[in-house]
Amino acid sequence: MKWIVNLVLGAAVSAAVLYAFWRWFGTFGLVYAMPVLAILGKPLVEIGASLPRLATHIALRKVDGRYYEFRGRSMDIHVDADARCWVSTADVRKITPLPADGVLNRLTPLECLELGEPLQWRITPQGLAQVLAKSSDPDVTKFCNWLEKDVARPARNRRDGRKVPG
């Protein structure tokens, strides 16, 4: 399938170059365009073939490395330079009841801050475990375990240079 895309893209680029040379230089432009197409043909096709990847990268760069999913619910998690994970409190509220941001800030002042891009209230997994420690809901326990096992631990391993199993 990729060769078809490369072939069509090469034909389209070649036709565009030939047309442009013909419009600028007349019939001699077609003769002048042939060496240009011979030299630039392969690089043009390779550049054209990379455009879908570039478009995907541009579209997803705002969530690059921050998108996680727990049971079908997306979680915005900011990992700072010290490999501390900061989970958006709005996303945590999709899964479990959580006190207001001001209350969280008073309960765990060092574990709940307003940071990240976009700027919003976030809490660390340790602070979340401290706030939800009294909860007997099994979903809360599963969420806290998932957060530690699949998000926080791999972030610490990347910081320490250890190989992350996966």
Whole-angstrom Cα distance, residue 77 to residue 97? 18
In this structure, the answer to whether residues 35 and 73 fall within a common structural domain is no
Is 142 part of a structural domain of the chain?
Answer: yes
Measure the CA–CA gap between 80 and 153, rounded to whole angstroms: 14
Residues 95 and 129 both lie in one domain: yes
**Residues 48, 22: one domain?**
yes
Question: What residue ranges in the chain does DSSP mark as E strands?
Answer: 67-70, 73-79, 85-88, 112-115, 120-123
Round to whole Å and give the CA distance between 32 and 106. Answer: 74
What is the model's pLDDT at position 2?
65
Q: Does a structural domain hold residue 113?
A: yes
Q: Specify the number of domains making up the chain.
A: 2
Question: In this model, does residue 1 exceed pLDDT 60?
Answer: no
The answer to whether residue 166 is domain-embedded is no
- 0.75 cut: is pTM over it? no
Query: DSSP of 68-90, one letter per residue?
Result: EEETTEEEEEEE-TT--EEEEHH
Q: Of how many residues is the chain composed? A: 166
Task: Give the domain range for residue 112.
Answer: 67-160
Domain boundary among 28, 62, 96: 62
Same domain, 56 and 77: no
pLDDT at 16 over 70: yes
Residue 51 or residue 111, greater confidence? 111
Q: Does 7 map to a domain?
A: yes
In a domain, residue 52? The reply is: yes
149 and 74, same structural domain? yes
Which pLDDT score, from 0 to 100, does residue 165 have? 56
pLDDT in tens, 49-105: 777 777 777 777 666 666 777 888 888 888 777 778 888 888 888 888 888 888 888
Alpha-carbon distances of 26 from 38, 69, 73, rounded to whole Å:
20, 58, 60
Checking phi first, is residue 114 left (phi over 0); if not, alpha (psi -120 to 50) or beta? beta
74 and 117 in a common domain:
yes
Asked whether residue 141 carries a pLDDT value surpassing 60, the answer given is yes
Tell whether the model's pLDDT for residue 164 goes beyond 60. no
Mean pLDDT of the chain: 79
